[in-house]
Amino acid sequence: MIEGISFEKGLTHNEILNLSPLSLAFLGDGVWTLLIRSYLCNHSTYKNTSLHKLTTKFVKASFQAIFYDSIINSLSQDEQDVAKRARNAKLNTVAKHASLQDYKKATSLEAILGFDYLTKNFDRIKEIFLVVKTQIDDCLKEEKR
C-alpha cells in the first residue's frame, strides 16, 4: 500500500527516534489518512460525499484515541518511547472537538505511524491497522443502519 512511497533522506534509526515527536505525528497524520481513505475506497460502495464524511470521522482525535487505546498493549519499546514523547510534547493547538487527553492519544498514534513509516516498518503499520479495522468495520455497519 505505502511501501513504494518514500522520500526521506535515509535517516538512521537513532536519528528517527530523536526527531521531534510532533514532526513524526505530522507525517503519521498523512499515513493514517491514506490508510483510512484507501480502506474506505477498497471496502465500500459509498459515494464521494459519504467517503469524505467517513474519512473525517475516522481521522478525528476522538476516534484516534480509541484506536490508540486498542494498540497500546502491543507497542514495541521504540513505539512506546515515541508515544510517550508525543503524549508529553508541548502542543500549540488542540482540536476544537476533542478533549486534551484524546488529542494527546491521537498525537501519540500519529507519531507511532510516522516513526514506523520512516523506519520502513510497513508490516507493523499494517498490523496496527488490522487491530483497528474491526472497530472501523463496526462503525461502518452502524452507518448503514
Q: Calculate the dihedral angle through the C-alpha atoms of 117, 121, 127, 130, rounding to the nearest 10 degrees.
A: 30
Mean pLDDT value across residues 57-85: 95
pLDDT tens track for 1-53: 555 555 556 788 899 999 999 999 999 999 999 999 999 988 777 788 888 88
Q: Where are the alpha helices (DSSP H) in 18-76?
A: 21-42, 48-58, 61-71
pLDDT tens track for 73-104: 999 999 999 999 999 988 777 677 888 899 99
Residue 7, pLDDT score: 58
Quote the cell numbers at residue 48: 464521494
**Residues 6 or more apart from 51 whose CB is under 8 A from it?**
37, 40, 41, 44
d(CA 86, CA 107): 6
pLDDT tens track for 103-115: 999 999 999 999 9
- Among residues 29, 69, 116, 137, the one annotated as catalytic is 29
d(CA 41, CA 64): 19
Q: Is 29 a residue of the active site?
A: yes
- The fold of 13-144 is Ribonuclease iii, N-terminal Endonuclease Domain; Chain A (1.10.1520)
Q: What are residue 73's phi and psi, to 5 degrees? A: -80, -5
Stated pTM of the model: 0.89
As a whole number of Å, the end-to-end CA separation of the chain is: 30
d(CA 48, CA 71): 30
Quote the cell numbers at residue 7: 522520500
Domain limits of the chain? 13-144
